[in-house]
Amino acid sequence: MDFNFTEDQLSIQAVARDFAQKRIAPVAAEFDAKGEFPLDNIREMGALGLMGIEVPVEYGGAGMDSVSYALAMIEIAAADCAHSTIMSVNNTLYCNGLLKFGTEEQKQKYVRPIAAGEAIGAFALTEPQSGSDATAMKLRAVKQADGSFVINGKKSWITSGPVAKYILLFAMTDPAKGPKGISAFLIDTAREGFHRGKTEPKLGIRASATCEIEFTDYRVGAEDLIGTEGEGFKIAMGVLDAGRIGIASQAVGLSRAAYEATIAYSKDRKAFGQSIGSFQMIQQKIADMKCKLDASYWLVLRAAWAKQQADKNGGKFSTEAAVAKLTASESAMWITHQAVQIHGGMGYSKEMPLERYFRDAKITEIYEGTSEIQRMVIARNETGLR
């Protein structure tokens, strides 16, 4: 096995690391405290190619691979999870879905501005009454005689919803068909009938704006249908597989930041006449943190590599993505917990970034499929039982 990265992969990693440390890290706490969307930083990330890493150059992206994306996500997340959340939605949920199922015209019109950072994209699947059970959606898109659709209903927990220009929306077009009655549409938020709710006051990733959205007799043309009618559920599940690699990468970056802060603190902090890092109980925590971090990192890279192979040759990477997401997210929660414990009172203070890391870590176990959903996906794929 060759564990070496290509020059392109190392290049985008370096670009992401440099921007993260120079532009994001110094302002992350301020954006978190205010709950303010970092629009200028996101635009700069687009100019650097970070908002469309796997998007081909002809559609305004960087034209790189899935491993490149994972490496860049880790670096951005190590500086701030909120920035990496916005980056993840743009790359894997929005752009990936349109690249796989959109028409040439749709790609040129709706992928290019998002990949370039000129506009923000979003992904709308969750509803107030349906989270993990996506097939229970009530938002309806009713087909008209002229082939257009009229949409009514609500979606909730829409990341980047308050600022998104375009949204990849999933709506029920034929309730009698269940999952096969769901279709995907491209939504322009400037059109009449689209409404945004209040921005959600979240525990973590506070600079990543999230809201409820509502449609009142919103009309889309047949040209705004993504894929074919009734293909929406398949599109959503495929996109979420890719999205889970992004969130797993985010969790690794966050874990790395917490781990590195802990190593530095354990050397500097003195108690009973010696560095606390010399105490066996602290050493045990550090060793376990390191094992979980490394395991998560390599599982993420395996999942990214598996996605590349699937993109080239067909096949699935659902299990690899779920394993990476489950392991990395639960490791992030555990690692940040231990990091706060080792820092003691200082870990609980907003004067240090540890308490932000701890708050941010929790969401990685929830979005793009909860830990419970990941376990179900893995077990079903392994046993073949439903």
Residue 212 falls inside a structural domain: yes
User: pLDDT at position 135, please?
Assistant: 81
- How many domains does the chain contain in total? 3
**Domain check: are 259 and 361 in the same one?**
yes
**Domain check: are 241 and 368 in the same one?**
yes
d(CA 283, CA 280): 5
Q: Is there a contact between 49 and 65 (Cβ–Cβ < 8 Å)?
A: no
d(CA 380, CA 189): 37
Residue 351 falls inside a structural domain: yes
Instruction: Find the CATH number of the domain harbouring 368.
Output: 1.20.140.10
**Domain check: are 237 and 352 in the same one?**
yes
Length of the chain: 386
**Domain check: are 267 and 256 in the same one?**
yes
Instruction: Find the CATH number of the domain harbouring 110.
Output: 1.10.540.10
User: pLDDT at position 386, please?
Assistant: 87
Instruction: Find the CATH number of the domain harbouring 148.
Output: 2.40.110.10
Q: Which residues contact 230 (CB under 8 A, 6 or more apart)?
A: 173, 174, 177, 180, 181, 182, 183
| Residue at a domain's end among 119, 154, 177 | 119
**Domain check: are 248 and 365 in the same one?**
yes
Exposure string for 137-161, b = 16+ CB within 10 A, e = fewer: bebbbeeeeeebbbbbbbbbbbbbb
User: pLDDT at position 3, please?
Assistant: 83
Nearest to 222 by CA among 149, 167, 150: 149
**Domain check: are 109 and 148 in the same one?**
no
d(CA 183, CA 157): 19
**Domain check: are 135 and 91 in the same one?**
no
Predicted TM-score (pTM) of the model is 0.96
User: pLDDT at position 76, please?
Assistant: 98
Q: Report, as residue numbers or ranges, the catalytic residues.
A: 368
d(CA 181, CA 187): 19
**Domain check: are 240 and 379 in the same one?**
yes
Residue 182 falls inside a structural domain: yes
DSSP 130: B
> What is the domain range of residue 87?
7-119
What's the Cα-to-Cα distance from 309 to each of 56, 68, 71, 304, 371, rounded to whole Å? 17, 14, 17, 9, 25
| Residue at a domain's end among 119, 141, 158 | 119
**Domain check: are 72 and 186 in the same one?**
no
| Residue at a domain's end among 214, 229, 244 | 229
Residue 208 falls inside a structural domain: yes
pLDDT in tens, the chain (386 residues): 578 999 999 999 999 999 999 999 999 999 999 999 999 999 999 999 999 999 999 999 999 999 999 999 999 999 999 999 999 999 999 999 999 999 999 999 999 999 999 999 999 999 998 878 878 899 999 999 999 999 999 999 999 999 999 999 999 999 999 999 999 999 999 999 999 999 999 999 999 999 999 999 999 999 999 999 999 999 999 999 999 999 999 999 999 999 999 999 999 999 999 999 999 999 999 999 999 999 999 999 999 999 999 999 999 999 999 999 999 999 999 999 999 999 999 999 999 999 999 999 999 999 999 999 999 999 999 999 98
**Domain check: are 153 and 208 in the same one?**
yes
Residue 1 falls inside a structural domain: no
**Domain check: are 241 and 212 in the same one?**
no
Residue 266 falls inside a structural domain: yes
Residue 2 falls inside a structural domain: no
**Domain check: are 237 and 375 in the same one?**
yes
